[in-house]
Amino acid sequence: MSIPLADSVVTYQSIAYFRELSEGSHVDQAPDREVLKQLIDTLRKRDYLFTARFPALRRPLWMFALEPHVFLRYVQGRTSSFTPTALPALYGNKWFRSHKDTEILYRLFYLNRNAEIDSLDRILGSEMLSGLVDSGMIKYSNGIVRSEYRLVPRGDSIFLSDPDQGNRRTTVQYVYVGNDSVVLADFAHRTMLNREYERGLDLCAGTAFQGYNIRSNCRSVLAAEFNPRAVDFARATFYANGINDSFSIVQSDLWEKVTGTFDIIVSNPPYYPASECLINSKILDVFGGTDHGMEKPLIIFDGFGQYLDKGGLGMLLAASPVIMGEDILMERLKPLAERHGLETVLIPWKFTNIKLDPEYQVQHGIDYLIHYIIHTRKTGNGSVILAGYPYLVKFLEKLQIGIQKRLSSWPGS
Ligand SMILES: C[S@@+](CC[C@H](N)C(=O)[O-])C[C@H]1O[C@@H](n2cnc3c(N)ncnc32)[C@H](O)[C@@H]1O
């Protein structure tokens, strides 16, 4: 069965709304760069980067069957602060017992929980504290402080992003780092091994998380991102982490301002399905456009034909809707892969029935979504094959999907 492209003629107009928005209105940008730099320097001295390995993304308790796997990866140093866990208290507690001040900073700047002004005054000193308040980085009342930003530790750097808003995102120009950012970055890291590349591109870059990740293997990296606020955050992150100038960032609507070719392209674009009206009026980092949210990923994959060098490597995230048992991304990719000679492997990394626009998903009969890494090389032999997925993980994720669907509160039940 072939799922019709009914709503998918790639008219690609969703950006018009945001163009008006970025030209017409004022949105808070990154905080003062010097203040941010001082804070990041202090966090480094307090071993904040060490917390990057503690799994902190909560999953339902009954999924603890997957915990031995998480724990094993933790012991191997392969987890991140975005690794899902049913038992977050298991990780970090011991370390935090001997790093109490870092725990306060981690809870404030990574988990975005409240802190007491007196503790912060003691840890950071009054001068830095007033700098943070004056720059709007933190707000306080009645002796309680909260951070307006999130500081994400990763590798040797600390990224500036917005606090997590979960699935109920309300900020239009949201600056994103999430679990999928780390999934792609880890994959790119493993895939690149120790090879050297000439020119790398991070498309739909957000905080430039992916570009950052590949930079040590590339002579130069370009990050392209549409959201002006994210561009500003990425530049502030570069400055505060002392990154050199082999890295440039450009504001671009997908390929619009990208020139030349690349031997490696990484992209974590928006890829969730939503109705036209939501795409046009809300939340730039989440909805992937028409054709069940595959519009932007497909435009990017298509662009690999033009922007990848012969032999070049492309890595891209997308979510495939499963409709009446049919996983439809594969059939959308095949003609593009053949046209451009892209040898492609679809690597599943999560089965989920997350519903960001429940009405749309019910209307379009989307049973669930399969998250994929699209891994491609421009060899001239266009093809798409599907990689395997660990049986136990698939079983538990599909069980969770089944259980959620049976709940009377679940949309479409
Ligand atoms: C899921 S976020 C990922 C951010 C980053 N790549 C990462 O891995 O953390 C998707 C990003 O794509 C950006 N984006 C959305 N539409 C875009 C477009 N038309 N052109 C360029 N960037 C776009 C969003 O603003 C957002 O920063």
Distance 268 CA to ligand 1 centre (A): 7
Do 164 and 146 fall within a single domain? no
Q: How far apart are CA 404 and CA 413, in angstroms?
A: 9
Residue 47 lies in a domain: yes
What pLDDT is attached to residue 280?
A: 64
Q: pTM (2 decimals)?
A: 0.90
7 belongs to a structural domain: no
For range 195-208, the mean pLDDT? 96
- Shared-domain flag, residues 249 and 394: yes
Give yes or no: residues 259 and 129 share one domain. no
Query: How many structural domains compose the chain?
Result: 2
For the stretch 336-379, pLDDT in tens is 999 999 999 999 999 988 777 888 888 888 889 999 999 999 99
Residue 5 in domain: no
Residue 13 included in any domain: no
Q: Which ligand 1 atom lies nearest to the CA of residue 181?
A: 8
The pLDDT of residue 403 is: 83
In a domain, 193, yes or no: yes
User: Which protein residues are within 6 Å of ligand 1, measured from CB?
Assistant: 15, 176-177, 181, 204-207, 209-210, 225-227, 230, 252-254, 268-270, 284-285
R_g over Cα of the chain: 21
Q: Is residue 21 part of a domain?
A: no
Which one, of 141, 129, 153, 138, lies nearest residue 108 by Cα? 138
Rounded percentage of the chain residues whose pLDDT exceeds 70: 89
In a domain, 356, yes or no: yes
Query: What band does 10 get if pLDDT is binned at 50, 70 and 90?
Result: very low
Q: Whose CA is nearest to atom 7 of ligand 1?
A: 181
Shared domain for 70 and 194, answered yes or no, is no
Same domain, 147 and 161: no
pLDDT grade, residue 23 (50/70/90)? very low
The backbone torsions φ and ψ at residue 348, rounded to the nearest 5 degrees and listed phi first, read -70, 145
Last residue of one domain, picked from the residues 96, 125, 154: 154
Q: Best substitution site from 284, 307, 315 to test ligand 1's pocket, by max atoms within 8 Å of Cβ?
A: 284
Domain that holds residue 400: 157-406
278 and 304 housed in the same domain: yes
Q: If DSSP states are collapsed to H, E and C, what string results for the chain?
A: CCCCCCCCCCCCCCHHHHHHHHHHCCCCCCCCHHHHHHHHHHHHHCCHHHHHHCCCEECCHHHHHHHHHHHHHHHCCCCCCCCEECCHHHCCHHHHHCCHHHHHHHHHHCCCCCEEHHHHHHHHCHHHHHHHHHCCCEEEECCEEEECCEEEEECCEEEEECCCCCCCCCCCCCCCCCHHHHHHHHHHHHHHCCCCEEEEEEECCCCCHHHHHHHHHEEEEEEEECCHHHHHHHHHHHHHHCCCCCEEEEECCCCCCCCCCEEEEEECCCCECCCHHHHHHCCCCCECCHHHHCHHHHHHHHHHHHHEEEEEEEEEEEEEEEECCEECHHHHHHHHHHHHCEEEEEEEEEEECCCCCHHHHHHCCEEEEEEEEEEEEECCCCEEEECCCCHHHHHHHHHHHHHHHHCCCCCCC
Mutation probe of ligand 1 site: the residue of 204, 272, 307 with most atoms within 8 A of C-beta: 204
- Of the three residues 120, 154, 188, the one that is the final residue of a domain is 154
Task: Give CA–CA dist 266/38, Å, rounded.
Answer: 31
- CB burial of 244-280 (b: ≥16 within 10 Å; e: otherwise) equals eeebebeebebbeebeebbbbbbbbbbbbbbbeebbb
265 and 193: one domain?
Answer: yes
CA of 202 to the centre of ligand 1 (A): 10
Same-domain check for residues 256 and 336: yes
Per-residue pLDDT, averaged over 323-340, amounts to 94
Atom of ligand 1 nearest to the CA of 268: 6
Q: Look at ligand 1, atom 24, and give the residue with the nearest C-alpha.
A: 285
The CATH number linked to 391 is 3.40.50.150
What is the mean pLDDT of the segment spanning 71-88?
Answer: 92
125: alpha, beta or left? (left if phi > 0; alpha if psi -120 to 50)? left
CA dihedral in degrees (63, 69, 74, 77; nearest 10)?
Answer: -140
Asked whether residue 22 is assigned to any structural domain, the reply reads no
Q: How far apart are CA 306 and CA 271, in angstroms?
A: 22
Shared-domain flag, residues 261 and 369:
yes
Q: Whose CA is nearest to atom 2 of ligand 1?
A: 285
Which atom from ligand 1 is nearest to the alpha carbon of 177?
A: 9
Task: Assess whether 131 and 170 both reside in one domain.
Answer: no
Residue 103, both tokens: 């725990």
**378 with 230, same domain?**
yes
pLDDT band at 410 (very low <50, low <70, confident <90, very high): low
Write down which residue in 103, 125, 154 finishes a domain.
154
Shared domain for 143 and 164, answered yes or no, is no
Tell me the CA–centroid distance for residue 204 and ligand 1, in Å: 4
